[in-house]
Amino acid sequence: MTNQDREQIRIRIVSEINRTRQDVEQLKEVTRPVVFEDMDDITHMDSIVNKSVNDAALASAKSRLAALEYALKRLDDPEFGICSECGESIPLPRLLSMPQSSRCVDCAE
Q: Which residues bind Zn ion (CB under 5 A)?
A: 83, 85-86, 104, 107
Beta carbon of residue 92, minimum distance to Zn ion (angstroms, whole number): 15
SS3 state at 54: helix
Question: Which of 107, 60, 64 is CA-nearest to residue 82?
Answer: 107
CB nearer to Zn ion: give 46 or 85.
Answer: 85
CB nearer to Zn ion: give 1 or 17.
Answer: 1
Beta carbon of residue 108, minimum distance to Zn ion (angstroms, whole number): 8
Distances (CA, A) of 25 to 20, 94, 95: 9, 27, 26
Beta carbon of residue 106, minimum distance to Zn ion (angstroms, whole number): 5
Would you give the end-to-end CA distance of the chain in angstroms? 23
CB nearer to Zn ion: give 13 or 104.
Answer: 104
